[in-house]
Amino acid sequence: MRIGFCSSCGTPLEAAWDRLVVVCPSCGGHNLPDGAVPASVPVDERPRVNLGGRTYVLEGQLAEGDCATVYRARWVSRLGERVVIKVLASRADADLLRREWDVLSALAASTAQGAEHYVTRLPPPIAYGLVPSGVEPARPAAAYGWRSGFQVTLEQVGREVGSLSGHAQVWLLKRLLELLSFVHRAGFVHGAVTPDHVLVHPRDHGAMLVGWTVATAVGGRLPAVPARWAPMYDGARHATPALDVQMACRCVAAVGPWRPAALVAGMAGRHGDAWALREEITRASAADFGPPAWHPLVLPGWG
């Protein structure tokens, strides 16, 4: 047997020496013993789509939202290049996917403070176009780069782990507020900071935001409200930084017992400055837990 580690998520792998490709049981990543990348994906029965002049093989479904289905895929010319492909369920929602693409493209090109770091916590846009849909007209779709290690949603964390420790709540909320602070400085509001749109990296204590279909410029009217999470909006219909902050606080409060006054104020929508609240959370955590220290978050499949 040979033992290595997944190049995507770090999970220990065991495989016979004659195995060319080792599939990670945690994240599905394909690992090769010498780090090489095969010239192409073998021909098989998996569906393929073409976007931006590249053909991708769909490896499986990641999620299904109100208006789109999200797939894990790879570029057929390079097995090592993984992507996420979002395909609309209906052409009637084409404006939402286009909005997401435009906002993420603008954020990727942003020169706002911290852009070099925070764009790595956003889906990188790769291609936008139409994909065939049987006898129906082709539907809009977008391909985004895969961010290694961000495979678990906060919704899954709550379902599989239950309650997080206050320490985990601290770093998770701080990562979200830091990211939102950059987004707001760049002139945008996410508008749908819900548990299924927050991806967690347990090993690196990172957080990433997906689901940008209702994102818009600060102060604009939200184009839609996800029906499943409508109660989180309290009737709000305009894109304000305070809305993003409120939703982030409610997401984190729902997975743990820690309730400092700063978090409660954020949950109530009384904070519109994500970075200022982040500083308040830092002070509150120091008062409750002492100096910062590393507290591992163990999730199923991560060891």
* Secondary structure string (H, E, C) spanning the chain: CEEEECCCCCCEEEECCCCCCEECCCCCCEECCCCCCCCCCCCCCCCEEEECCEEEEEEEEEEECCCEEEEEEEECCCCCCEEEEEEECCHHHHHHHHHHHHHHHHHHCCCCCCHHHHHHHCCCEEEEEEEEECCEEEEEEEEEECCCCCCEEHHHHHHHCCCCCHHHHHHHHHHHHHHHHHHHHCCEECCCCCHHHEEEECCCCEEEECCCCCCEECCCECCCCCHHHHHHHCCCCECCHHHHHHHHHHHHHCCCCCCCHHHHHHHCCCCCCHHHHHHHHHHHHHHHHCCCCCCCCCCCCCC
Q: Which domains does the chain have, with CATH numbers?
A: 1-36 (no CATH), 39-145 (1.10.510.10), 152-289 (1.10.510.10)
Tens digit of each residue's pLDDT (9 = 90 or more) over 139-159: 899 999 999 889 899 999 999
- pLDDT at 36 exceeding the cut of 50: no
pLDDT at position 12: 75
pLDDT at position 8: 62
State pTM to two decimals.
0.84
- pLDDT at 34 exceeding the cut of 80: no
Q: What is the mean pLDDT of the chain?
A: 87
